[in-house]
Amino acid sequence: MRLVYQFAVFGRGDPGFYNECLLTENQRDLFDVVLVSPRNPLNIGAVARAMANFGFAHLSVVAPFAAHWREAKSAVGAPDLLINANEAPTLAEALARCTLAIGTGTLAHRSAKQRVLQLPMLAPRVLDALEAGGRVALIFGSEKHGLTREDLSYCHLLVEIPTDPRQPSMNLGQAVAVCLYELARNNPRNEARHPNPEQVGQIKQIKSMVTSAELDRLAGVIVEAMAASDYSPRAMGKANQHDLRLILRRLQFGRTDVRRGLGLFRRILQRLQNPKCLDP
């Protein structure tokens, strides 16, 4: 108890000593923690507490199992964060405003379809997107099975927390705390005196400022065009949508790209639906 007390007093007396590692308030305001189908309200409360520790305030909970999750007693020091959290019926709605969605989890039993970041590279990627004015979401899956294949199709990147193969899964609250701590520990702003040229070169690779909702809008028009052209059996519709979400996020479109893509496929769809409009 004495050690905890000393840390608390020291932090209050000289907040700049270690709190300067945290993302700025403006950057944290553009960062969302998203929980998909969490089962235990106590875990949601632990996530809120971890977020409060590192100064994050935007929590989205997608299709929670328990209706009373906002009352979790484990949200010590963060009850307002739970009260103000966003509840969304689908992951697509929770990510609508985000320009960079990063999924988390273990790859022990699955093959990644996106680029996988090592945990130390999480902070440079996030900071680059935030400095460009984007909105970032860090997504965590259910305690039972993590993010599903469908959930992962909404992610631009994946980040893996290194764990022992004998126990690859981690408690939800702990996983969130580890990732948020990594944003503070490995924030490139703290390395200004000793920059890593290789890391700096990698940071600028993310350039897309397109929101998830805009990409889904383009995917929807493409799917309509595919259906109108009898591209594949109707039963393949969900699989086509899944693959399109992945492809569009890999391409890292800019807004001009999306606008042109929408115009192109809307024109194709119009011609397919109204063949009489075809030029002779």
220 and 144 fall within a common domain: no
Structural domain span for residue 240: 212-277
Whether 130 is in a domain gets the answer yes
CA-closest candidate to residue 66, choices 152, 142, 130: 142
Residue 211, both tokens: 């929101």
242 and 179 fall within a common domain: no
Whether 15 is in a domain gets the answer no
pLDDT of residue 1: 43
pLDDT of residue 111: 73
pLDDT of residue 109: 66
pLDDT of residue 278: 54
pLDDT of residue 168: 81
186 and 251 fall within a common domain: no
d(CA 78, CA 76): 5
pTM: 0.82
199 and 123 fall within a common domain: yes
- 203, 229, 264 — which closes off a domain? 203
89 and 228 fall within a common domain: no
Give exposure, 37-47, as e/b (b: 16+ Cβ within 10 Å): bbebbbbbbbb
199 and 223 fall within a common domain: no
pLDDT of residue 202: 44
Please give the C-alpha separations between residue 58 and each of 27, 53, 85, 223, 271, in angstroms, as whole numbers: 12, 13, 7, 32, 44
pLDDT of residue 232: 81
**Which residues of the chain fall short of a pLDDT of 70?**
1-20, 108-110, 188-208, 276-280
Tell me the sheet residues that pair with 117.
159
pLDDT of residue 272: 87
92 and 155 fall within a common domain: yes
